[in-house]
Amino acid sequence: MIETLSTNVAFGGTQGVYRHASSATGTDMTFAVYVPPHAPGAKLPVLWYLSGLTCTHANVTDKGEYRAACAEAGVIFVAPDTSPRGDDVPDDEAYDFGKGAGFYVDATQAPWSANFKMRSYIEDELPGVIAAAFPADMARQGITGHSMGGHGALTIGLRHPERFRSVSAFAPIVSPLNCPWGEKALGGYLGPDRAAWREYDACALIEDGARVPDLLVDQGDADQFLTEQLKPELLRAACDAAGIDLTLRMQPGYDHSYYFISTFMADHVRWHAARMAR
């Protein structure tokens, strides 16, 4: 059962924001869905977009500039939240841990393990909600995301190549095992055993045998987090060793913001649409 919070017509389709009670997180969860114009009874491919640190569904909904491309390509666009929320949900005063920073993991450490089950929410629960409430063809799915959400898109896509026909990312955290953001989040949510972190690290997943046919990654070369946190060269090395066709586009002058994301969003929508149409 979902509650409709708002709907607006855009490019002939409907941009909606919805809320439901999540069994995975034990909280209410809010998400956004854009359904493009379509013939009655049609089933449409689904593109998932996972947002980055501090974000909710609203960042990409307000600033992502995806609707025109989704309307043209006939693609549903789903934007979940980045963490559980609520007065009883544990939090941290830092921006990169706790609420808004779920890292798309299932936490195993107290107090986070009670609510921070974003892997189960995105992989298992929300797809069922989307399939039941929207004209979604769940046999045709793609996944993308930004920064922490790029990490989520890459890892979820690599763990489920049978589900996702296409995987891309904007400025992703490619190896949480090898950057401060990842070490803090995975250590806090999963504990000190770094072997347990590997299923949440795209480069480690590839090293351990995960495969997808191809990946598209856009990265700004003026991104303030490029050297310390993002390290796309690690993904390049992992894909080269595994024979994965990685298109890594270093975009001159672009930073980490939605000015960057919105510039290349339509490219990603079209890239996913072509692969989901096969």
Closest CA to 82 of 38, 136, 148: 148
> Does 92 qualify as catalytic in the annotation?
no
**DSSP per-residue letters across the chain:** -EEEEEEEEETTEEEEEEEEE-TTTSSEEEEEEEE----TT--EEEEEEE--TT--HHHHHHH---HHHHHHHT-EEEEE-SS--STTS---SSTTSBTTB-TT-B--STTGGGT-BHHHIIIIIHHHHHHHHS-EEEEEEEEEEBTHHHHHHHHHHHH-TTTEEEEEEES----GGGSHHHHHHHHHHH-S-GGGGGGG-HHHHHHTT---SEEEEEEETT-TTIIIII-HHHHHHHHHHHT-EEEEEEETT--SSHHHHHHHHHHHHHHHHHHHT-
Residue of 151, 256, 268, 272 marked catalytic = 256
For residue 61, give the amino acid letter: T
Please state, in angstroms and rounded to a whole number, the distance separating the CA atoms of residues 35 and 23: 25
Amino acid identity, position 161: P
Token pair of 148 as six digits? 């922490």
Cβ proximity of 253 and 219 under 8 Å: no
Please pick, among 147, 166, 168, 175, the residue that the annotation labels catalytic: 147
CA 7 to chain CA mean position, Å: 22
Among this protein's residues, is 81 annotated catalytic?
Answer: no
223 tagged catalytic: yes
| Catalytic positions, written as ranges | 147, 223, 256
